[in-house]
């Protein structure tokens, strides 16, 4: 589409920016629309959530290794 720039794409969806400066996130049937400021706040929240989940995953991995358990 003219005026639409693809920012990122993977198997779950895509992120585009239109000529009006709106960031469009499309993920398997869900679309979110943000201005740039709101997009950065949203991206920061997702990054923080991913960090928490990764910390939990790694802690469980170490615990399982130390106890000899597997999931």
DSSP the chain: -TTEEEEEEETTEEEEEETTS-EEEEETTEEEEE-HHHHHHHHHHHHHHHHHHHHHHHHHHHHHHHHT---
12-71 tens-digit pLDDT: 999 999 999 999 999 999 999 999 999 999 999 999 999 999 999 999 999 888 787 665
Report the predicted TM-score, pTM, of the whole model to 2 decimal places.
0.76
């Amino acid at each position: 589409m003219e005026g639409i720039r693809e920012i990122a794409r993977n198997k779950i969806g895509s992120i585009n920016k239109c000529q009006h400066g709106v960031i469009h996130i499309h993920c398997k049937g869900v679309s979110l629309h943000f201005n740039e400021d709101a997009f950065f706040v949203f991206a920061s929240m997702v990054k923080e959530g991913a960090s928490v989940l990764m910390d939990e995953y790694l802690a469980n991995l170490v615990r399982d290794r130390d106890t000899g358990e597997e999931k």
